Amino acid sequence: MSDPNQPSTPPGWYPDGQGGQRWWDGSKWTEHTQPPAGGAPAAPPAPASPGVPGPDLPTQVAPNRASSYPGGQPGQPAAPQQPQQPQQGVYGAPAGGTGSFGQPTGQPGYGQQPFGASTTGGGSGGGRGKLFAIIGGAVGALILVVILVVVLFNIVLGGGPEDVTEDYLDAVFEEDYGKECELLSEDYRESNLGDADDCDEYAEDREKEDEEFEEEFENEYDQSYDDFIGDIDRDVEIKDVEEKGDDEAIVDWEIKYEYTGDNDDIIDGQLDGETEETSTGTFKLVKEDGDWKVDDPYYSDEE
């Protein structure tokens, strides 16, 4: 296969792989080209200086890439002598040989960047960037799975001792007697539910008692009990959790209340003149069927 890279290839027009011709000055490619034409262009007149085409020939802008120069026979029908394959390509000249048409298999040809090189000088950084993105995505997915497992654990198993303690205190404050009853251990319910057979009946009995109290409250303070509760800011804090084995825990809690309303009768009569109060307590919890339950809302270490 002929290659005009070699010193033995004389100056002349040779195919550029894009249907046109490019001038080979005997040692390197020049920027002088000829557009595609019906026939092969004639050689230019002898240049004033070796290797430079005459000035009266039209000059075309060189294509951006000449790496697709075919490695076939260049020149006119009278082909120049076929040189041996060069060991190193010359810039601007075909180099390294080709595989399929226009696909270089060796060193890059005219205007082509090395395989894998970045146009911004990053080298193989793009590959590392993709790898880091994949690793980051995998780590993010793992974190999401852990979060979902924790959430599902809390939902399915009802959470830990501190969560159950907060839920029970909320139920008592909001007078949600059904939930309050369900968060109690079976032993405590049997000992303290009175005549109620289950949590539903217990809730109905308590709600009837509350109706009488709330009516008296409204008559005395000229305000509904629900509105009074709505004027109270409340902050629950779990102070300490001590788990004893796998099925028993002691939880210390603290609640800070603040009355934000302006009913002086309530402040004096219901709150003893104080708008802020702090309550503390300790719960004993036990685990029943995998769920934590309040076994003693009035637990004391002295017992």
Confidence of residue 214 (pLDDT cuts 50, 70, 90): very high
* Secondary structure letter of residue 110 according to DSSP: B
HSE-up (13 A, CA, CB side) for residue 293? 17
> Pick the residue with more confidence: 206 or 38?
206
How many angstroms separate the CA atoms of 131 and 24, rounded? 45
Ramachandran angles phi, psi of 196, nearest 5°: -70, 140
pLDDT: which is higher, 155 or 180: 180
pLDDT grade, residue 36 (50/70/90)?
Answer: confident
Stronger pLDDT, 138 or 6, i.e. the higher one:
138
The predicted structure's pLDDT at residue 260:
96
pLDDT for 250 equals 97
Residue 129 has a pLDDT of 64
Amino acid at 63: P
- Confidence band, pLDDT 50/70/90 cuts, at residue 115: very low
Of 298, 303, 302, 296, nearest in space to 280 by CA? 298
Is residue 149 predicted with pLDDT exceeding 90? no
Q: Which of 45-59, 64-78, 100-114, 284-298 has the highest mean pLDDT?
A: 284-298
What DSSP state is assigned to residue 104?
B
Residue 232 predicted with pLDDT over 80? yes
Is residue 184's pLDDT more than 90?
A: yes
Mean of all residue pLDDT scores within the chain: 72
Nearest residue to 236 via CA among 174, 144, 153, 149: 174
Residue whose structure tokens are 């009266």:
56
Which of the listed CATH numbers 3.40.190.10, 1.10.3720.10, 3.10.450.100, 1.10.287.110 matches domain 158-296? 3.10.450.100
What pLDDT, on the 0 to 100 scale, is given for residue 148? Answer: 63
Task: Return the percentage of the chain with pLDDT > 70, whole number.
Answer: 60
Whether 233 has a pLDDT exceeding 60, the answer reads yes
CATH 3.10.450.100 segments of the chain:
158-296
Residue 193 has pLDDT above 90, yes or no: no
| 77 pLDDT tier (thresholds 50, 70, 90) | very low
Over residues 254-261, the mean pLDDT reads 96
Question: Who wins on pLDDT, 1 or 241?
Answer: 241
Asked if the model's pLDDT at residue 162 lies above 80, the reply is yes
What are 188's two structure tokens?
């405590």
More confident residue, 252 or 142: 252
The residue ranking higher by pLDDT, 284 or 45, is 284
